[in-house]
Amino acid sequence: MIFYKIINHHSDRKEEHETAYKMLSYGLKKLYDITEYNIENGEHGKPFIPEHPEIKFNISHCNGLVVCGFSDSDIGVDAELIREFSPKVMERIFSDEEKEFIMSSEDKNRDFFRIWTLKEAYGKYLGTGLFSALNGSSFYFRNGQPFCKNENDVVFTQLILQKKWVVSVCAHGRENDLVSIKSSFVL
């Protein structure tokens, strides 16, 4: 289940952080009837609930948007505001295919962040952080659906909200699991 909330565009990081943890509490209550819990961080910073290791969750927030995903297997979510991207970052981090995809796009900024959020969501899914997934993964799109060349048992999906934000989700599963993931976005 993926929850998201659009908040004030001019929100600060503190407001986004507080909203994210309210959303986490809401999801834990709604989905698992859990009202008391502790959050700890794994070796690379991925949060987990030690009393409920069966519950996997991930949070992302950026410039007026908060996203929280829940699963019974590992999950990673990332959200970014679409803005002007850095060609230097693209040159250092993206594969040749990803660069070609972006440079041939009619909306380079949007498509840069489509790839970027996939890489971040994948790193969060792995629990090893962003940098482990930057250079070692290469993403492509088939019929608008994102895929990673290096993964068979992981599914990815994206949502572009109000043409302003890109949200990417990475979870354990197969291609036929995409329908249930896409339909789980709740405002």
pLDDT for 51: 96
Q: What is the mean pLDDT for each group of 10 consecutive residues in the chain (187 residues)?
A: 82 87 93 95 89 95 92 92 94 91 96 94 83 72 82 85 94 62 54
Into how many domains does the chain fold?
1
pLDDT for 12: 84
Question: Helices 96-103 & 108-126, crossing angle to 10 degrees?
Answer: 150
Local structure of 138: helix, strand or coil: coil
CATH of the domain at 153: 3.90.470.20
Structural domain range at position 133: 2-186
Full-prediction pTM beyond 0.75? yes
